Amino acid sequence: MTEQTRCIMCKHFTLRPRTRTGSNEPLREQDRQYSKTGLGRCAHTQESYRWHSAECPRECAKAVPIDADQVQARRAYIANIALVST
What is residue 23's predicted lDDT score, i.e. its pLDDT?
Answer: 63
What is residue 25's predicted lDDT score, i.e. its pLDDT?
Answer: 78
What does each of the 86 residues of the chain score in pLDDT, given as a tens digit? 567 899 999 999 999 888 766 667 788 889 989 998 999 999 998 887 899 999 999 999 999 999 999 999 999 999 987 677 65
Edge-to-edge strands of the sheet including 52-53? 13-14, 39-42, 52-53
- Using CA atoms, how far apart are residues 64 and 82, in angstroms rounded to an integer? 26
Q: Domain extents for the chain?
A: 4-84
Write the CB contacts of 28 (distance below 8 Å, at least 6 apart in sequence). 17, 18, 21
The answer to whether the beta carbons of residues 39 and 26 sit under 8 Å apart is no
- Using CA atoms, how far apart are residues 27 and 82, in angstroms rounded to an integer? 19
